[in-house]
């Protein structure tokens, strides 16, 4: 299967799609992305989409005949299936810690930072398309708490789970990159200099330069 085409179903602006793209870039896997599949466009929540992802989410990985959903699962599969730098530690406890952070990022951090905060800016639901600042203000304290938690977690290490770039980094950097780009970015990151520095370093990696692009490149 190594030579089969890798396609990531979903738009380039999605944080989770970007996480899979980052894993591909880190491992040197050639891939395509977007909603176009075998010449037709897959509409969100359509019969065709639900056949690939019964919960109606993106991304979905298509690798030859194989189909897979859930971002961390997709990244673990790519790591195991392809050559290139490994994105998980070998030691069983260290590996479990990466899995633990992947779950925490995909569940709790995604909910607080992406769903309840970033999406308020990306898809404003207020009057005349305005950002609902009451929702932003209500969500912000927990966003700050989580950033503080990540600041403690990274400590002096280069990556979220220590010395090695892992799937946990691929999951969290698209979220932090968007956060840092907001007008509130400085206020959020100033109290967390290690995380601020981490975002800058992840943006400058080869994978970051390719994937963490502004939305103009969206497909």
Interacting residues toward ligand GSH by CB under 6 A: 14-16, 56-58, 70-71, 106
How far, CA to CA in Å, does 214 sit from each of 46, 130, 208, 210? 28, 21, 11, 10
Residue closer to ligand GSH, measured from CB, 16 or 198: 16
What's phi and psi for 166, nearest 5 deg?
Answer: -135, 175
CB of 57 to ligand GSH, least distance (A): 3
Closer to ligand GSH at the Cβ: 56 or 126? Answer: 56
32's tokens:
């395509």
Quote the DSSP letter at residue 131.
-
The nearest distance, CB 100 to ligand GSH, in angstroms, is: 15
Nearest distance, CB of residue 18 and ligand GSH, angstroms? 9
Residue closer to ligand GSH by CB (options 106, 192) is 106
Q: Closest CB to ligand GSH among 70 and 116?
A: 70
Provide the minimum distance between the beta carbon of 11 and ligand GSH in the complex, in angstroms, as a whole number: 8
* Positive/negative CA dihedral, 25, 26, 29, 35: negative
Helix (H, G, I), strand (E, B) or coil at 9: strand
Residue 109 neighbours by CB distance under 10 Å: 21
């Amino acid at each position: 299967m190594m030579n089969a085409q890798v396609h990531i179903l979903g738009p380039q602006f999605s944080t989770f799609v970007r996480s899979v793209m980052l894993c591909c870039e880190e491992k040197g896997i050639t891939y395509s992305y977007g909603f176009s599949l075998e010449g037709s466009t897959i509409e969100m929540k359509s019969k065709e989409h639900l056949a690939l992802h019964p919960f109606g989410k993106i991304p979905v990985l298509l690798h030859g005949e194989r189909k897979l959903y859930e971002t961390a699962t997709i990244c673990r599969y790519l790591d195991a299936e392809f050559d290139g730098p490994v994105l998980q530690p070998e030691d069983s406890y260290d590996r479990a810690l990466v899995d633990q952070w992947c779950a925490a990022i995909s569940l709790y951090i995604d909910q607080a930072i992406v769903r309840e905060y970033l999406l308020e800016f990306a898809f404003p639901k207020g009057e005349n398309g305005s950002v609902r600042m009451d929702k932003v203000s209500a969500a912000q304290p927990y966003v700050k708490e989580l950033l503080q938690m990540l600041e403690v977690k990274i400590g002096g290490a280069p990556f979220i789970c220590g010395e090695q770039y892992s799937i946990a980094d691929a999951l969290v950097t698209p979220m932090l990159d968007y956060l840092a780009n907001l007008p509130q970015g400085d206020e959020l990151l100033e109290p967390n200099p290690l995380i601020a520095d981490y975002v800058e370093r992840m943006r400058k990696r080869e994978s970051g330069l390719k994937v963490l692009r502004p939305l103009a490149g969206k497909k």
